[in-house]
Structure 1
Amino acid sequence: MQLAKSLALAAVLGLAQAGSTPAVKEQDSVPYAPIVVPLANRSPYLGAYLFGSEDKNLALMSPRFWTGTPLGWTGLLRVDGQVSSWMGNLTDWPACINSSLSTDSYSSTFVMTDDPPTVSLTATFLSPITPLDLFRQSLPFSYLQLSVASLDGKDHVVEAYSEINGLWLADDETEMLEWEGVEKDHWSGMRLRLQNQRIFEEENMREEHGNDRILHGDVWYASRSDAEEVETSYAAGDDVEETRRVFVDRGRLYNSLNETFRPTKTRQDDNQTAILDEPVFAISHSFGTVSPSSSAEDTTALITVGHLRTPLIQYKVAGPELVQVKPLWASTFKTAEELIDFFLSDFELVASLSKDWNAQMYADARRVESEEYGHTLAVSTRQIFAALEGLWDYDLDANSSLVTYSPITNEPIPTLFGLKEVSSNGNCQTVDVIAPFLPFLIYASPTLLPLLLEPIYRYSDSGLWKPIPPPHDLGDHWPNALGHDDYEGPTLPIEEAGNMLAMALAGMRRGDAAAREQAETYYHLLTQWADYLIDEALFPKEQSSTDDFYGPQKNQTGLVIKGIMGIRAMAEIALDFEEDKDYAHYKNASEVMTSTFLSLAISKDGTHLLGHYGNDSSWHGQYNLYFDQLFGTEMFPASVYEAQDSFYANVSLPFGPALDSAFPFRAKTDWLAWLGGIAVTNSTRTLFVDAVAKFFRQAKNDVQGDFIDPREGWSVGFRTRPVVGGHFSLLALDVMERLRKGTFQDDDEEVLIGGTSVAVGLLGLMLTVGVVYRWWSRRRRPSRKDVAYEELSRGDASPLLARAGSPSTPRMANDEEED
């Protein structure tokens, strides 16, 4: 296809999920409302949620940071001079009626009305999801769109108000703030920050349990309205009572700037419940007279909230020096004001792209499983990206293929992505946090995978890290990627070596050019890790894995499977690079190891794989078998899958099986989803998929964690972490299987359109050119000869493996590790 045709298609249809052929259908008519509702979720430090009660009444609940601590985000609605509260439980006014709530992968929409209903206020909290446009995905801002309408057929004068406070910066109310007002041609807003800036430091970071608030950077609250009928005004730094009173009395603010900088809250000395002063940062929109015939354009306003800081991290790449790395957005925008101007003007396009991706995701989820499975994926998606930050790799030794493209200049930008191990301990770039959400990367964003792995490869290859297996992480606490030159910290050598090898192969199999180039660059590391697994993985010494919350253990069978699959992944990588001797060596080693493993790991009664060699009462959720099916390597016989399938049903609790017999009342939703992906029977697959879906509707939960009690579905830790990308296990398997069969549509039109459509016009054409050019140029890069997948799956079975059983993994029957 000609490039011009590709560009035109991209402009009309947007950046949709590649390779999905079914026509997109609308979601079901029943709104989905998970027990934890994401509001603004774009980075580790920009996260607002509704936790708690089942009805999720925005008028009676206050948004909170992902840790559960309060955020000041409140709203008032004024209709014909009568005021009610629409967000944040403001008890001085009657609460609006929360008439509906619906969520999808990128937005949460509340419809509020006054009481009795005369006017509706639709509040849409939108955090864009653009997995194929990682520059846009990296922007640390979120939208709040407000729209009003007459319900009773009459005219009404309507105004809406919202405010934030200093709790968006730190939990400590005594922190001194400073702020400014900003007025531009098309938008106005406010910037607030802590007076005492502590770069690269989180609040209480040095304590055992910090509260994960960064003490560096600026919070922005800004708004635009394209309608002349909508008047926008703001107030920065006035006391909360005064600011609200002005709005209640006038329906608008004074565009005032109080320059007496003060703490977030000042409380009465002898009565700490009494607040004497609280500066707030408020925006009001006066919609004028709203009639039944008013257009949506004349009754809509847009707000953005964001958290910006630069530099983002300090990173040790080679030698003792630290490099301060700037955010990806700084490559294109010189100032925060330029970025905000772009972000507000980009709303229509990015909302369309997000809607398009969401529709395709639901269509694919229905095709492989169900509508409810689509809901599970939808509530998981924003959480994945809330742990990531885009890094401008401007002065490091960048791999030339590791780039994103500027939406302004269309020029390539050297890029990395950083990851904070949210909640569990704050580590930087944790290997066994990236690995669990590999299914999402395979399905939705294969270009993101090498951008996440590159910092790990660089540090492993720097000479600063001496052990042979890869490090567990790049630093004890984000945003300090200082490495572990002392070789201390978590050590999961088999776990991480197997993960890195499997992820390297996954990127290559998915067809990403950067992943292939990366694997070729670091081939020497990959072979070292595979050799380590040959030496150590069959009989693991006492060490940690992602499952042993009860302490290091010997001879964990889950680790052995991880090691086997890492070695086999190395064989496949070698084959792709025509390293025939390496291919034969690693393939033979993995097959011999598998045969020995099966002679040791099957229970005496033949019902299941043991959790530990020699302990016949032990068992384990063997989710690492997922790699065998993901790659189609058929390392383990059908009998193993069939036995495990039956066994899980026997040990399952209401929310699925536990992690293993040594930890009987803890499970993890990502591993449950991986096990669902490799289930043999529909009934067992449904057991796992439904367990995860049910958890997200569990009314008893106040938080959204991946670590649960399978008896009642309680969340028992690990809040809002990106590992929920593992819930995409079924879609990743579907993509990889269709790649092997050659039915994954990878011609020019399908890569661009993915079976969906969204008209974005000339603006879309201009903004999409860069991404399409990248795709077009990568398709024309020379690469080594690929080996047909059919040849891989036909490979001769060794006699040792044959003795263990048939190597053919069964299809569905019935109807035809995390620290």
Structure 2
Amino acid sequence: MIRFDRILTLLTHLVFSTLPGLAQSPPIIIELRAPAYPLVTLDPNTSAWSFSNNLYDDAVRHWSGKSFPLLGVLKVDGVAYRFLGKEEIELVPIAKMGEHAEWSAKYTVQEPPKNWVSLHFADAHWKTGSAPFGTLDKEPNSKTDWQEPKIWVRREVILKEDLVGKPVYLEFTHDDDAIMYVNGIEVANTGQATGKNRRVKLSEEVVKTLKKGKNIVAGYCYNRVANGFFDFGIFTEKKNSVFFTKEAVQKSANVQATQTNYIFDCGPVELSVSFIAPVFLDNLDLVARPVNYLAYEVKSRDGKKHNIELYLEASTNWALNSPLQDAVISQYKAGNLQYVKTGSKSQEILGKKGDDLRIDWGYFYMAAEANKTKSAIGNGVALRSQFLKNQTFSSSDQGKQIVLTQKFSTEEHYSDKILIGYDDIYSIQYFGKNLRPYWNRNENSSIEKQFELAHKEFVQLKEDCDQFDAELWNTAKRTGGDAYAALCALAYRQAIAAHKLVEAPNGDLLWLSKENDSNGSIGTVDITYPSAPLFLYYNPELAKALMNHIFYYSESRRWTKPFAAHDIGTYPIGNGQTYGGDMPVEESGNMLILAYAIARMEKNAEYAEKHWDVLTTWTDYLVEYGLDPENQLCTDDFAGHFAHNANLSAKAIVGIASYGYLAEMLGKKEVSQKYISIAKDMASKWKSMAADGDHYKLTFDKPGTWSQKYNLVWDKLLNMNIFDKSIFTTEVNYYLTKQNEYGLPLDNRRAYTKTDWIMWSATMADDKDTFQKFINPVYKFMNETTDRVPMSDWVYTDKLVRSGFKARAVVGGYFIKMLEEKIHKQK
């Protein structure tokens, strides 16, 4: 049983007392064991996480899972304690993946005989194709077009020697389900899931089969819906020295909304470390500032004086899509700060688009106060050796590592900080125009100016972070309980980091999402819709910025269909929709509902009035087609197309009602009466069409089915009174009978769910106790899941694994319960 009563205990260790002006009150402890811990969260490109319980158990990773090496070592009286990251095993390719080198294989899209994985299977009649295999129109990195649901691939690997006794790894990328075999032995079975660069260490039994000569690596992949992609390779370890073998002892890990706090024992001293992102949504300059902090404090545990040296090392990976790309490194002093810097040699600005990509233009920086800091660049092996031996660093611009060190002694306590940031130069291409990041929108700033501001403002910002984190916790706890508060704290930076803030040429503020771990779309409306509660709560201007590009797309006549677009491209290129299918009812309903939600938050409908013609077009579309939607996708597109979707119909009705109430706010009395009347009439028909005894159906034509009707929550939040209130009670009571150990399934078809929609369905309940009955299982899943990735929103409710998705903005939807309280207080 989760001890929520222990969550709100006080942490007395983490007080940066030597930095004047810092808050002396200790922060709250949140005992949630996060699936992954946010460390550096600037935007979708610079988003770094710890995927392990202890900060030193694994390499720091980009949200996609690729390594972002960041090593932290504290040397105490000559003894080095590694507290951050891990010296990664360097892999040598035996058979490269297609992302590094094109390879060919035999494949078929027709189910083969059962022995198709064996070494001696006759595959001469199979087709030959180059990897990666994928849907070319949606996965531009594919080499062989794969449009069918399933594919079977046999890759021949010729070895020059036996691999017995060597550490060997299989790495593979799959969308969706995959099963992998080596010489006929199954080595991986993902179940219904997607994955990017999954790595499996092969057992001794399998490695013994890897003999000199011909070997077969075989793989099966099942693309259930939308994009398909399949790639795999074999690797072994490169022998090299590991220097930082002694680990600190981690005592705690504590995720707050704006900071992640750790405490370690390093021999005779205690080390406290905080990764801080002061992203307050009502301050756009801070939201856009491309700098985070690694702040630390060292305390003597025995009252004796100790000589201390901090070593922080990053690699060129932070500024590369692939570690194999060429990079440049440098060090310099500017103003009060000492910098180290890295970036790709090619600098192809906005040269790549897609999902599983990392930025390879612009530059990554670390900086610290110059009079306290030394820097070094070069080969990691040499730099680590010199640090351990107390030798002077011999820097070289030929390596892949950048280093900052700080040296001091203390018999009490000492505090300092390292600044970590990224200058992407240009962030987004928007209908043919390359846009600077918001912090440099007027082209009158520089990355050094941003670092100087971050350096000077740190003390105040740390106080502000402490206060904000406490306020968020207390508000979320009051509205939804301890488990809810913990999930909101973890969701805060994840949701924000999946966006980029820029200004359009016409002056519009653009808060553009990347559809992480899905298809990489930019500005997706059905990402905006679930994420919006966070931004509605803290700053409606950002909620507008989630929508401005879609309004512009239609109003500029670049998008001419009578319903809202799905997206404006593939991140970071926003030149027009690239998603393969439209979601007419879904996206139009989303835009209308959010337009009314903004009006309610601002207590005026000026924003809607500005876009009235387009809103009218979308509303009329919903009036004609929304009650009983034809065969089409909704936001839960992984479930596939289906018609007569009752929840989608509810969205259409609430969208029409939203338009009616906006008209009322604008003094358009006849328009208001007309559309509110239409919505109420449709809601009455909906109740009759969807009724199925003690609940309401998944689709109007299928009795005995059910689904979460999360779209109804806006009728309750915005006090529309369109749907019969008994529907809410009936549905919530029925949901309680359908819960599994880790949550409420999305519908009757499968055991998976969407955690954001659970939050919305739970908010339909009239009391906090019932709300918590839905939230506690979600907390339990996140606290215990074996999938160590930034929170997934698409998970199973009967087992501790995700079905897909990670690091997505939609967890901003967790804030809907807080939003409900705020809206109702405004009445």
Give the superposition deviation at 1:452. 1.8
2:380 corresponding residue in structure 1: 240
Q: Which has the higher helix share?
A: 1
- Residue of 384, 392, 410 corresponding to 1:290: 410
CA deviation vs aligned residue, 1:687-736 (integer Å, no higher than 9, x gap): 21112222221242211211100112422211111100111121011111
- Larger RCO: Structure 1 or Structure 2 (Cα < 8 Å, ≥ 6 residues apart)? 1
1:341 equivalent to 2:456? Answer: no
CA distance in 1, matches of 2:778, 2:406: 41
Which amino acid letter does the alignment assign opposite residue 45 of structure 2? Y
Tell me what 1:82 maps to: 79
* 1:565-622 superposed Cα distances (whole Å, 9 cap, x missing partner): 000000010011101111011111101111111111101xx21110111211211110
Could you tell me whether the CA contact under 8 Å between 2:33 and 2:784 is conserved in 1? no
Amino acid of the residue matched to residue 602 of structure 2?
G
Partner of 2:65: 68
Match of 1:669 in 2: 755
Give per-residue Cα distances to partners, 1:264-317, cap 9 Å, x unaligned.
Answer: xxxxxxxxxxxxxx5210110101x2112x5xxxx222112222212211111x
Specify the SS of the correspondent of 2:784.
coil
Q: Secondary structure at the match of 1:159?
A: strand
Specify the SS of the correspondent of 2:811: helix
Aligned-partner Cα distance in 2 for 1:418–1:353: 26
Higher mean displacement: 35-44 or 345-354: 345-354
Q: Which residue of structure 2 lines up, in the alignment, with residue 48 of structure 1?
A: 48
The aligned counterpart of 2:643 is 554
Q: In the alignment, which residue of structure 2 is the partner of 1:446?
A: 540
| Residue 550 (structure 1) shift | 2.9
Question: Residues of 2 paired with 1:706 and 1:372: CA distance?
Answer: 16
- Hey, what's the Cα distance between the residues in 2 that align with 1:150 and 1:645? 54
CA deviations on 1:748-774 (whole Å, 9 max, x unpaired) are xxxxxxxxxxxxxxxxxxxxxxxxxxx
Alignment pair present for 1:689 and 2:775: yes
Deviations 1:379-428 (A, max 9, x none): 000001111111133xx2235xxxxxxxxxxxxxxx32222111211111
Is the 8 Å Cα contact of residues 106 and 129 (structure 1) preserved in structure 2?
yes
Q: CA deviation at 1:669?
A: 0.7
Q: Partner amino acid for 1:532?
A: Y
1:107 CA displacement = 0.9
- Cα separation, 1, equivalents of 2:247 and 2:507: 54
1:80 is displaced (CA, Å) by 1.2
Paired residues, what number?
646
Q: Is the 8 A contact 2:320 2:361 kept in 1?
A: no
State the alpha-carbon separation in 2 of the partners of residues 435 and 216 from structure 1: 30
Tell me which residue corresponds to 1:328. 438
Partner residue, 2:287 = 137
- Which residue of structure 2 lines up, in the alignment, with residue 58 of structure 1? 55
Shift of 1:644: 0.7
Deviations 1:771-800 (A, max 9, x none): xxxxxxxxxxxxxxxxxxxxxxxxxxxxxx
Q: Of 582, 590, 604, which residue of structure 1 is paired with 2:671?
A: 582
In structure 2, what is the equivalent of residue 641 of structure 1? 728
SS of the residue aligned with 1:216?
coil
Deviates more, 1:74-83 or 1:25-34: 25-34
Match of 1:108 in 2: 260
Aligned residue number for residue 276 of structure 2:
126
Equivalence map 1:706-717=2 (5 Å) = 706-717=793-804
| 2:106 matched residue in structure 1 | none
Q: Is the 8 A contact 2:536 2:542 kept in 1?
A: no
Instruction: Measure, in 2, the Cα distance between the counterparts of 1:418 and 1:346.
Output: 27
Shift of 1:239: 0.7
Kept in 2, the 8 Å contact 1:130–1:353? The answer is no
Q: What is the aligned counterpart of 2:589 among 466, 480, 498?
A: 498
Confirm or deny that 1:366 pairs with 2:504. no
The verdict on how the C-alpha distance between 1:30 and 1:355 changes in structure 2, with shifts beyond 3 A counting, is closer
340-349 vs 185-194, greater mean Cα deviation? 340-349
- For 1:352 and 1:612, the matched residues in 2 are separated by 51
Q: Distance in 2 between matches of 1:31 and 1:557?
A: 39
Residue 482 of structure 1 aligns with which residue? 575
In 1, distance between residues paired with 2:811 and 2:294? 25
Corresponding position of 1:761: none
582-591 or 322-331: which moved more?
Answer: 322-331
Matches within 5 A, 1:119-518: 119-202=269-352, 205=354, 211-224=356-369, 231-236=372-377, 238-250=378-390, 254=393, 257-260=395-398, 279-287=400-408, 289-292=409-412, 294=413, 299-316=414-431, 322-331=432-441, 333-393=444-504, 396-398=505-507, 415-475=509-569, 477-484=570-577, 489-511=580-602, 516-518=605-607
Question: Distance between the aligned counterparts of 2:320 and 2:30, measured in 1?
Answer: 38
**1:83 CA displacement:** 1.7
Does the aligned pair in 1 maintain the 2:329–2:340 contact within 8 Å?
yes
**C-alpha distance in 1 between matches for 2:803 and 2:458:** 37
In structure 2, the residue corresponding to 1:674 is in which secondary structure? helix
* Residue pair 1:619, 1:660 contacting (<8 A) in 2 also: yes
TM-score using structure 2 length: 0.76
Aligned-residue offset at 1:259: 3.0
SS at match of 1:545: coil
Structure 2 CA distance for aligned equivalents of residues 39 and 29 of structure 1: 17
> Greater shift after overlay, 330-339 or 68-77?
330-339
Note if contact 2:373-2:404 (Cα within 8 Å) is conserved in structure 1: yes
Give distance in 2, aligned partners of 1:545 and 1:397.
31
Moved more, 581-590 or 339-348: 339-348
Per-residue deviation at 1:47?
A: 1.1
Give the whole-Å Cα distance in 2 for the aligned partners of 1:120 and 1:715: 36
Quote the Cα distance in structure 2 between the aligned partners of 1:721 and 1:344. 30
Percentage of pairs with the same residue: 25
SS in 2 for 1:467: coil
Letter in 2 for 1:124: S
Shift of 1:447: 2.0
Distance 1:201 1:355 in 2: 39
Q: TM-score, normalised by structure 1?
A: 0.76
> CA distance change for structure 1 residues 185 and 313 in 2, over 3 Å: closer, same or farther?
closer
Cα offsets for 1:50-88 (capped at 9, x unmatched): 114xxx222332211111121211122111112222222
Equivalent in 613, 616, 623 of residue 534 of structure 1: 623
Q: Supply the AA of the counterpart residue of 1:379.
A: L
Unaligned runs of 5+ in 2: 1-24, 88-241
Contact conserved, 1:571 with 1:583, CA < 8 A, in 2?
yes
Q: Is the 8 A contact 1:446 1:512 kept in 2?
A: no
AA partner of residue 483 (structure 1): G
Shift of 1:27: 6.4
Query: What residue in structure 2 maps to residue 522 of structure 1?
Result: 611
In the aligned structure 1, how far is the partner of 2:426 from the partner of 2:56? 37
CA–CA separation in structure 2 for the residues paired with 1:705 and 1:601: 30
Q: Map 1:769-808 onto structure 2 (within 5 A).
A: none
Question: Residues of 2 paired with 1:680 and 1:242: CA distance?
Answer: 63
Which whole-Å CA distance do the structure 2 matches of 1:498 and 1:196 have between them? 43
In structure 2, how many angstroms separate the alpha carbons of the residues matched to 1:179 and 1:282? 11
Which amino acid in 1 is paired with 2:584? P
CA distance in 2, matches of 1:518, 1:30: 38
Q: Does 2:247 correspond to 1:95?
A: yes
Are the aligned partners of 2:271 and 2:296 in contact in 1 as well (CA < 8 Å)?
Answer: yes
Name the CA distance, whole Å, in 1 between partners of 2:426 and 2:607. 26
User: What is residue 181 of structure 2 aligned with on the other side?
Assistant: none
Contact 2:481/2:772 (8 A) holds in 1: no
RMSD: 1.9
Determine the C-alpha separation between the residues in 2 that align with 1:422 and 1:725: 14
